[in-house]
Chains A and B, each alone.
Chain A
Amino acid sequence: DAEITQSPRHKITETGRQVTLACHQTWNHNNMFWYRQDLGHGLRLIHYSYGVQDTNKGEVSDGYSVSRSNTEDLPLTLESAASSQTSVYFCASSEVGLAGFYNEQFFGPGTRLTVL
């Protein structure tokens, strides 16, 4: 079965370190997204990609970067981790349906990141 996986599931790091969170999907979806989820804020979009070599900034992109070298993977890098980046991170993927209106996003299991 197609799926979307994230690794690691839990990560503890120190302030200032570079951290990369992996996201891998086997749906063959063109669209991939990274969100962070914090209490009271719902899901906030960090970066997204509509295909290989395409990346775009979301509403909370400062301090994060992504690259898309193939369809399956969209790794998220925290260049210099800060305590404010302690959060749960979700990766998602989607494909546009035939009608154009249906673009359900499928979510990975999440990565809980703690920055000390």
Chain B
Amino acid sequence: QKEVEQNSGPLSVPEGAIASLNCTYSDRGSQSFFWYRQYSGKSPELIMFIYSNGDKEDGRFTAQLNKASQYVSLLIRDSQPSDSATYLCAASTWGGAQKLVFGQGTRLTINP
């Protein structure tokens, strides 16, 4: 069973601090990794995508990938109350299979 694992939380972070969300995956064939944000009652929306080892930054968000450790993380700097949501990690393989395998999501709460 190809799995993506996340700590379901809830993760509580004070406003202005760094929120760190983690994800591990079991399939070494996974090539691309996605972080989706989902507000309560809404559909998931993509916030970050990474496929190379190392860091990728986009505004306040940084995605980190370590393929040797099969580990993906998302850092949110200067956390805002509007960042409170569930964050879903997803992995996909290349080679024709364009499915995404999702983790169970981490619920993040930013406290003012």
Chain A residues close to B by CB (< 8 Å): 31, 33, 35, 40-45, 48, 50, 58, 90, 94, 96, 100-105, 107-110
Contact = CB atoms under 8 A, between A and B. Distances in A.
A33 B99 CA distance: 8
A104 B98 contact: no
B92 A103 contact: yes
Nearest to A50: B98
A46 to B, nearest CB: 12
Interface string B26-54: 00000110100000001111100101000
B31 A101 contact: yes
Q: Number of contact residues on B: which range applies?
A: 20 to 34
Given A42-B88, A90-B43, A105 B100 contact: yes
Interface of B: 6, 8, 31-32, 34, 42-46, 49, 51, 88, 92, 94, 98-105
B44 A90 contact: yes
Contacts of B44: 43, 90, 107
B104 A40 contact: yes
Contacts of A103: 32, 92, 98, 100
Contacts of B6: 42
Contact of A42 (B94, B98, B103): B103
Given A42-B103, A101-B31, A31 B49 contact: no
A110 B43 contact: yes
Contacts of A101: 31-32, 51, 94
A45 B32 contact: no
A116 to B, nearest CB: 21
A50 B6 CA distance: 28
A31 B46 CA distance: 17
A8 to B, nearest CB: 15
- Residue of A100, A103, A108 with most partner-chain B CB within 10 A: A103
A81 B31 CA distance: 37
A102 B32 contact: yes
A41 B104 contact: yes
A42 B87 CA distance: 10
Given A40-B8, A109-B43, A104 B34 contact: yes
